Amino acid sequence: MKRAVEEVGRIYGDVGLGQFHFSLTVPVERGDYLAVVDEQHGKVLCQLDDLKRKSDLDLEHAGALQPSEEAHLHESMLGVAQIVGYRDASGVVKIPTIPFRPGAHVYRAEEPLIAEVLGLKHHANTGAYVGLLRNHSLRVELDINQLVQRHVSVLAKTGGGKSYLLGVLIEELLRHRVTCVIIDPHGEYGSLRVPAEKNGSSARFGVEAQGFGKQIQEYSPDVSLNPSATPLTFSLRNSDPRDLLVFMGLSNVKSFLAPLKQLIERVAAANPEYTVHDLVRAAEAGEGAIAETMAERLEYVDQTKLLGPKGTSLNDLVKPGGATLINLRGVAPDVQELVVSRIASTLFDNRKKGKIPPLFLVIEEAHNFAPQQGSATSSRVLKNIASEGRKFGLGLCAVTQRAARIDKSVLSQCNTQLILQVTNPLDLKAIAQSIEGLTPGMTEMIQSLPVGVALVTGGGYHTPLFCEVRPRATRHGGESVQIVAS
């Protein structure tokens, strides 16, 4: 359906180069696109950033009203619009250098103008289709090369829709045969194998249910809890005694380090092909409380089967054109950090050597693996990947509900941000500081975004835009647990 050009108001007062005020005569939502015809450049795209209801009722008169008395007043709506720009003959987006004329008409922007100025593409070869521009039927596609080369962050409060959106993104990457490794602390992403059930809004978004079972493999350090996964193991002889202490659950007890080192040296001298079981027996043969604890904890490590003679090979772990899930459900936090650190380091080293294809490394709960305060075993390598990964085709995707708690240097290196609802003031502050081009109106809007609407910055777009996330083609694995049956 083609809408006639709709006038929504007139510009008034002092007019600036970036912003203007206008009278609003029809309802327009904050964030909606507007157009003003500029004498020199034709139609210029603008966006409603704020709305105010003005009246001539002042404090004194309002205070003097009786409880039952109606207020008699004149009121009008005023809009504050941000100028987005026009595309010039060479395809560059520019903002007019002369302010609009007061009295100029303000129209609702038509879709062709919006698509042209924002640079929205339909079915681009390198496009990841994440949803529709809010209140429109224009596709928002993120440029996959930009995503992988320039890193991504997904930010929202718990329940804001991060995992859902990430699922959408991974579906798109799998369609384009981009290799992904996903750190999945809650075991949510296995459902990418399963086609979604019918969804009422799928038709509007043009999404068909599809499973990606053939492209997905899953590893876990704990296969008794996660039986759909293949065991993830590390090479015992490539493990530092410090790492071993983490696996033993003794990373905080430094007094064990020297005795453990001695134990390993002794066992290795007798048999270079030693196993965890050999370490257990040697510890059992020792005397005293330390030897006893070591024996007990090594026995536990032996049972986890996390440390084997060889460890999972990188060739198995990375599936070119597919996604590898590292399911860490039920794994102790310090072991999780160590697993992330070891996997991220191996991927980075081998990417530098060109032994594996360019890939996208997704870290869910990234504030735990690269915290701003305190330290995690995985912090250093994640910071290195954030600052240098792009040179080597290793893209990082950091997902977190605490933008204020993730390492600032990691957050600031993410050039595409997908932001859903955020209400915590500290997190909002961290987001506002790390993103260019956010208007005060947009920062306010982030606090009240409905589930399923994301603010997208970067990803090939020069200006932030609001996107209604498309329905999943696969089942979403992160459904909230019902405590009481309905």
Q: Which residues make up the interface to ligand ADP (CB under 6 A)?
A: 156, 158-164, 451-452, 469, 476, 478-480
Residue 360's binding partner, choosing from ligand ADP, Mg ion, none, with beta-carbon cut-off 5 to 8 A by kind? none
Q: Sketch the per residue contact string, 445 through 484, with Mg ion: x for CB under 5 A, - otherwise.
A: ---------------------------------x------
Nearer Cβ to Mg ion (96/478) = 478
# residues near Mg ion by CB under 5 A: 3
Nearer Cβ to ligand ADP (157/261) = 157
Q: How far is the CB of 440 from ligand ADP (least distance, A)?
A: 25
Contacts for 378 with CB less than 8 Å, ≥ 6 apart: 337, 338, 340, 341, 344, 369, 370
CA of 437: how far to CAs of 139, 142, 397, 410, 423, in Å? 22, 18, 21, 19, 20
Residues in a beta bridge with 359:
179, 394
Q: How far is the CB of 183 from Mg ion (least distance, A)?
A: 12
Nearer Cβ to ligand ADP (156/438) = 156
Residue 156's binding partner, choosing from ligand ADP, Mg ion, none, with beta-carbon cut-off 5 to 8 A by kind? ligand ADP
Q: Which two tokens stand for residue 331?
A: 């794994």
Q: How far is the CB of 46 from Mg ion (least distance, A)?
A: 35
Query: CB of 441 within 8 A of CB of 415?
Result: no
Residue 158's binding partner, choosing from Mg ion, ligand ADP, none, with beta-carbon cut-off 5 to 8 A by kind? ligand ADP
Nearer Cβ to ligand ADP (313/447) = 447
Task: Fill in the DSSP letter of residue 470.
Answer: P
Nearer Cβ to ligand ADP (125/480) = 480
Residue 233's binding partner, choosing from Mg ion, ligand ADP, none, with beta-carbon cut-off 5 to 8 A by kind? none
Nearer Cβ to ligand ADP (143/468) = 468
Residue 479's binding partner, choosing from Mg ion, ligand ADP, none, with beta-carbon cut-off 5 to 8 A by kind? ligand ADP
Buried b (16+ CB within 10 A) or exposed e, 101-128: eeebbbbbbbeebbbebbebbeeeeebb
Closest CA to 119 of 95, 92, 146: 92
How many angstroms separate the CA atoms of 286 and 256, rounded?
14
Query: CB of 135 within 8 A of CB of 29?
Result: yes
Contacts for 478 with CB less than 8 Å, ≥ 6 apart: 163, 164, 186, 188
Q: How far is the CB of 162 from ligand ADP (least distance, A)?
A: 3
Q: How far is the CB of 122 from ligand ADP (least distance, A)?
A: 21
Strands 394-400 and 359-363: parallel
Residue 146's binding partner, choosing from ligand ADP, Mg ion, none, with beta-carbon cut-off 5 to 8 A by kind? none
Residue 68's binding partner, choosing from Mg ion, ligand ADP, none, with beta-carbon cut-off 5 to 8 A by kind? none
How many angstroms separate the CA atoms of 302 and 309, rounded?
12
Q: How far is the CB of 424 from ligand ADP (least distance, A)?
A: 13
Please report whether residue 341 would count as binding Mg ion according to CB under 5 A: no
Q: How far is the CB of 480 from ligand ADP (least distance, A)?
A: 5
How many angstroms separate the CA atoms of 45 and 451, rounded?
27
Query: CB of 231 within 8 A of CB of 219?
Result: yes
Q: Which two tokens stand for residue 230?
A: 């293949």
Q: Which two tokens stand for residue 73?
A: 């007043």
- Identify residue 113 by its one-letter amino acid code: L
Nearer Cβ to ligand ADP (252/480) = 480
Q: Which two tokens stand for residue 117?
A: 């100025």
Nearer Cβ to ligand ADP (189/234) = 189
Query: CB of 13 within 8 A of CB of 102?
Result: yes
Which listed residue (47, 146, 153, 163) binds Mg ion by CB under 5 A? 163
Nearer Cβ to ligand ADP (156/473) = 156
Give the interface with Mg ion as residue ranges (CB under 5 A): 162-163, 478
